[in-house]
Chains A and B, each alone.
Chain A
Amino acid sequence: MQKQSKTGLYWLFLLPFIGTLFPSFYASYRPELAGFPFMYWYLILWIFLVGILSGIIYLIDNH
């Protein structure tokens, strides 16, 4: 079975790189959330986002 490649979609995968590899955007204490400084809860948020993003791309990929 040949799979039509939808590589255009894969550009979305740049988002986690941009979001997490530039600490100058997020290395700050505020705003705090539940006692966590911004940097920490922001990175934890990205863990969920990368999972959701991969899930969505998988669903479109194999639709």
Chain B
Amino acid sequence: MVVLGFSASRWHRGDLDLIEEWGLAGRRFGTFVTWFLLGGDLYTAYTFIAVPALVYGAGAFGFFAVPYTIVVFPIMYIVMPRLWRVSKQQNYVTAADFVRGRFDSSLLALAVALTGILATMPYIALQLTGIQAVLTAMGLSGTGLMKDLPLIIAFVILAAYTYTSGLRAPALTAILKDLLIYVTVIVACIAIPMQLGGYGHIFHVAEQTLPTHKGSVMLSPKLFSAFATLALGSAFALLLYPHAVTGSLGAKSGRTIQRNAALLPLYSLALTFIALLGYMAIAAGIHTKDTSLVVPLLFLKTLPTWFAGFAFGAIAIGALVPAAIMAIAAANLFTRNIYREYFAASTGPNREAQVAKIVGMIVILGALFFIVVIPLQYSIYFQTLGGIWILQTVPAIMFGLYTRWFHRWALLIGWLTGMVIGTGMAAAESFKTSIYPLHIGHSVILAYAGIWAIIANIVVTVVLTLIFNAMRVSNGNDSTAAADYITEPDEKAVAQ
């Protein structure tokens, strides 16, 4: 897999000294590779560990991940090809590039770039929890430096191959990683229920056991609004994460993305069965306070040792692929929207790629620092906040793809409002959950804090747009043309 990562630099060879080549692989990936690349984004090692852990602890609520990964595809089908086309026409590498061109505001672009980088860092760190959980379950948890040594080795490899090959490295390893993961999921979801007496029995035992953890196999009516808003908000946020944007822009056409919207639900199916591992762990009598160990302990208890080892390998590799894509995406943002904008306006394209490569390394090492030095719990809190924050870029990016009606300063202040409100709501819940109970009159509505924040964000943006337009505050020039959003390149010409 390491060899694969390094040799990826030779594949569909391009000039890796250009940021479009390093950071987007020259926008040349076809349906097949894009499928693995975006699939790798959608379900990572963290998903593999965290979703069953949530189901194990909270029951049906953890299945919000299913409607979330259903509604994400219509949004992807409609929105992402537009972003791809305008980015192709205007040579944009990041979503913040688009915002800068569309709204003529480097400050708004900076806001989008910072949001992306802030949300991505803890996400990379969390990929490591997958590796860590696997190591702990295997009894390989040493002390002191030994505890972190395998992680450090994994990250040095990751940093080195990302540096040399750019987006091509995770794309190629994603194929291997997902084949391992699909085999693991299929085997686990057939073999484990056979041992435990079938799915009916698993649901039954979970139903009997769960109330003691304050959860249930059936969603209770008071959680309906929280379940639905979390699914909806997460779906919009997912596509605007820098790694999802990078994965999409790496495709060779808008149509490639549309084909993927139809093919990617296979990953949602796998995710559903991964979530069911949480119930299987209950039925198998796994007891642990550290819920990140649920899946590794389940595998050790119910599968032959050699296969559990295979599955652990899959989870570990599953951590590196998305971590690499995230690091590249964060590096693209930093280079294009912070470094070039504020530190070196006249950078040539070669210098830009050089900076991106180095920043990619720094991001990976920063994530390593996050996980080794900062307690895991903080990474989880930050990741919860990350989703709320990313959602606040929806008006500038997604609405911006369709209309320039919104005023650039209104978008910026709206974004700030959403960030403050979303963070405040999460803080009010001590960052333990992203669900916030809003008191309206005498009733209480439970909903995803990101949704409350985006509502405030949109209201502020609309009101201020009206005010700024009435005051004739300059709204800058749009450097994109209407045709940029719908011009699809000839795929046959691109494939050369």
Contacts and interface: CB of A to CB of B under 8 A. Distances in A.
B168 interface: no
Interface in B255-283: 255, 258-259, 261-263, 265-266, 268-269, 272
Interface residues of B, number: 43
A13 B221 contact: no
A29 B69 CA distance: 22
A1 B488 contact: yes
Nearest to B270: A47
B339 interface: no
A2 B60 CA distance: 46
B80 interface: no
B107 interface: no
A43 B218 contact: no
B461 to A, nearest CB: 23
B370 to A, nearest CB: 33
Nearest to A23: B224
Contact of A32 (B74, B200, B231): B200
For this complex, into which size category does the number of interface residues on chain A fall?
35 or more
A36 B199 contact: yes
A5 B486 CA distance: 8
Q: Is the interface of A mostly helix, strand, loop or mixed?
A: helix
Contacts of A16: 70-71, 73-74
A23 B70 contact: no
Contacts, number: 117
A24 B263 CA distance: 28
Contacts of A1: 487-490
A3 B487 CA distance: 7
A25 B268 CA distance: 21
Given A20-B231, A24-B224, A54-B261, A43 B67 contact: yes
B269 A47 contact: yes
B373 interface: no
Contacts of B203: 35-37, 40
Interface in B397-429: none
A13 B218 contact: no
Interface of A: 1-3, 5, 10, 13, 16-17, 20-24, 27-29, 32, 34-37, 39-40, 43-44, 46-48, 50-51, 53-55, 57-58, 61-62
30 contacts: A1-B487, A1-B488, A2-B486, A10-B78, A16-B70, A16-B73, A17-B71, A17-B74, A20-B71, A22-B228, A23-B224, A24-B224, A35-B198, A35-B203, A36-B203, A37-B203, A39-B219, A40-B63, A40-B203, A40-B272, A43-B67, A43-B70, A44-B269, A47-B272, A51-B262, A51-B263, A53-B74, A54-B73, A54-B261, A58-B255
Given A17-B232, A27-B60, A39-B219, 18 more contacts: A3-B488, A13-B77, A16-B71, A20-B67, A21-B71, A21-B228, A29-B218, A35-B198, A39-B218, A40-B272, A43-B67, A43-B272, A44-B269, A47-B66, A47-B69, A47-B70, A50-B70, A62-B255
